[in-house]
Structure formats: structure tokens, C-alpha cells
Amino acid sequence: MPSRHSIDGFEFSRTAAALDGRLEIADLPRLQDVLEDRRGAIEFSVRGVCDDQGRPAIEVKVSGVLRLRCQRCLEPFDFPLAGSSCLVLAATVGELDAATDDREGILADKEIEVSGLVEDEVLLAVPYAPRHARCAAPQTGRSAQAVASSKSAFSGLRKLLRVDEQTGRARRR
């Protein structure tokens, strides 16, 4: 990776430091499996903050455009990426468990790799099954009106059961 930045998490938060930058998509190895194309870049912003409970935290924001494959029509499309999170910092696993009951958190080392934080945020922002906003559901050969007016596949079972009016439970005929 051409520009490797690492931060001391607690110091970064304590001093309210900020780091803005750009990472090439091709330099984010865990992202490669979900991409249609490796060209482009991710803009990021990392800020040292305190969360609403006064705990040290890091705010990570990412933006850019990813080229993904639609899982409905299988055509490539541009996915506008915008994600952010506030990660509570903890010194130990026990502290992490206690501090992150309502928030995401990370173990803060003296060297937290910024590219890893950015890549995590990008991966969280990508949908599990990406698709075009305009991509319609595949046609089954039946019109929507025909599907809506058709009987339930289980309607024949209803005839075989009789409901006990006192208990509301089904009984066999």
C-alpha cells in the first residue's frame, strides 16, 4: 500500500486529531472479492473524538463509488458509497465487552492501521446482495394481478382441518 498511516488510538482521541485522505480501491485486499472493478479510490476521514458517554473513540467516514455486480440482473453498476461509524476504544478485551454494549468498539493499540479502519467501514457499507435501485424483480411469466388473485398453496389444507371455536385450535375432521 503506497501510503501507510497508523495512529495511537488513545492519543488520537485525547488530542482530537484528524486525518483525511484517499486510498486506492486496488490497495484494499479484503474488498477485492465483492468488486466488479478495482479502479477508483475511497475518500476517508478519521477523527479522534469522545462518544456521548465521554469514552475515547474514533469516528471513521468513507465515501466513493464502487463498481459492483447486480445480484438480480448480473450487470455491473456504480454503487455510491457513504458510511460512518464511531468506534469506542478499549485497552483490554474485558473493557471492550463492558464499553461496547451499545456501540461498536476496537482494541486500541499504539499502532492502529488507518487503512484497516477504512477497509472495515467500506465492507460494512457494501450490501450483502448488491443490486441496481432500478432493477426489477425477475418476471415469472404471470402478471402481478394473477399472482395476487391466486389462492394460497395451503388453502386446500384448510378444508381438511376444522377449528375448535372454544380453543381456537385446529382439529382433524
Give the β-pairing of 41-50 and 18-24. antiparallel
Query: Using CA atoms, how far apart are residues 45 and 21, in angstroms rounded to an integer?
Result: 7
- Hey, is 108 helix, strand or coil? coil
Domain layout of the chain by residue ranges: 6-125
List, for residues 98-108, the tens digit of each pLDDT value: 765 667 888 88
Determine the pLDDT at residue 137: 56
Determine the pLDDT at residue 2: 40
Which secondary-structure segment (H or E) carries 57? strand 56-69
119, 124, 129, 131: CA torsion to nearest 10: -80
Determine the pLDDT at residue 155: 55
For 59, counting Cβ atoms within 10 Å of its Cβ (0-12 exposed, 13-18 middle, 19+ buried), the class is: middle
Nearest to 105 by CA among 114, 117, 95, 96: 96
Determine the pLDDT at residue 169: 53
Determine the pLDDT at residue 114: 93
120, 125, 126, 131: CA torsion to nearest 10: 180
Determine the pLDDT at residue 161: 55
Determine the pLDDT at residue 142: 53
Determine the pLDDT at residue 84: 92
Q: What are phi and psi of 102, to 5 degrees?
A: -120, 0
Give the β-pairing of 76-90 and 105-107. parallel
Q: Does the predicted TM-score (pTM) go above 0.85?
A: no
Determine the pLDDT at residue 109: 77
Determine the pLDDT at residue 81: 93
Q: What are phi and psi of 26, to 5 degrees?
A: -65, -20
Regions of the chain with pLDDT less than 50 = 1-3, 147, 173
DSSP 103: S
Q: Which residues contact 68 (CB under 8 A, 6 or more apart)?
A: 34, 35, 36, 76, 77, 78, 79, 126, 130
